[in-house]
């Protein structure tokens, strides 16, 4: 709704990529007031997994960016909030049809855990205020250097069962020159319990930390659409660069 009754048109000051421009457009009298015939999206929400929390209360999550569902463009954000959620159901992944975790988020002050300040191709980042609610009874984990990471057995931590548990995976490929930095690791879910619950990797597991030899090496980022057992991961060093 436009806060003017007499005007027949307005000038919008827009930004397209790095260019600013003014566009004149007409107004429509809806009977309730003047309106613009445009669609404006002012918020986005979703379910994902926090990967890490450092000693300065900075967190990293997802391992990939939040993109507009219509344009696939990385969303620029002014600010955001981190909320707790409870998992209600799991849609099992099948060939050609990625599954997903279905959760309930209650948008009240009690459930706010912290603030989101960055949305990047390598994850979302911000600060946690209620550390006790999100990371109770957690032990510090060392971070692996690149040269320590190898193909073979590893584990991921995720809360598909309603609580954080470890599940066995296998790292099948490491590509330090991958075209997309959030697809450095190729992983395969081997844990029978996780395969029975989810079929492999499902939406909502993005950000699940990957550990190998007792060290944090990365996070789950994508699932192979044709094979839910397989997916990609990001090297943890790429994520930590955003909180330095």
Active site residues per annotation: 64, 191, 206
Distance CA 238, CA 224 (A): 21
Distance (Å, rounded) from C-alpha 49 to C-alpha 201?
13
DSSP state of 198: H
For residue 115, give both structure tokens: 């603030």
Classify residue 130 by burial, with Cβ atoms within 10 Å: 0-12, 13-18, 19+.
middle
At 171, phi and psi to the nearest 5? -85, 115
Please give the angle made by the CA atoms of 182, 162 and 212, to the nearest 5 degrees.
40
């Amino acid at each position: 709704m436009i806060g003017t009754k007499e005007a027949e048109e307005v000038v919008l000051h827009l930004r397209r990529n790095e260019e600013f421009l003014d566009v004149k457009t007409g107004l429509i009298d809806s009977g309730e007031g003047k309106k613009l015939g445009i669609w404006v999206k002012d918020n986005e929400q979703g379910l994902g997994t926090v990967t890490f929390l450092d000693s300065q209360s900075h967190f990293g999550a997802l391992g990939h960016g939040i993109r507009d569902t219509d344009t696939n463009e990385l969303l620029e954000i002014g600010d955001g909030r981190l909320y707790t959620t409870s998992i209600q159901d799991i849609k099992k992944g099948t060939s050609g049809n990625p599954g997903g975790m279905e959760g309930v988020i209650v948008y009240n002050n009690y459930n706010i855990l912290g603030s989101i300040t960055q949305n990047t191709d390598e994850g979302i980042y911000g600060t946690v205020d209620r550390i006790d609610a999100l990371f109770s009874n957690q032990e510090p984990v060392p971070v692996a250097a690149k040269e320590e990471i190898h193909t073979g057995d590893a584990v991921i931590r995720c809360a598909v069962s309603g609580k954080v548990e470890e599940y066995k995976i296998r790292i099948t490929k490491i590509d330090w020159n991958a075209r997309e930095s959030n697809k450095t690791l190729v992983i395969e879910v081997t844990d029978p319990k996780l395969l029975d619950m989810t079929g492999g990797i499902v939406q909502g597991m993005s950000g699940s930390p990957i550990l190998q030899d007792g060290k944090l090496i990365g996070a789950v980022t994508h699932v192979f659409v044709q094979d839910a057992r397989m997916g990609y991961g990001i090297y943890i060093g790429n994520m930590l660069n955003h909180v330095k």
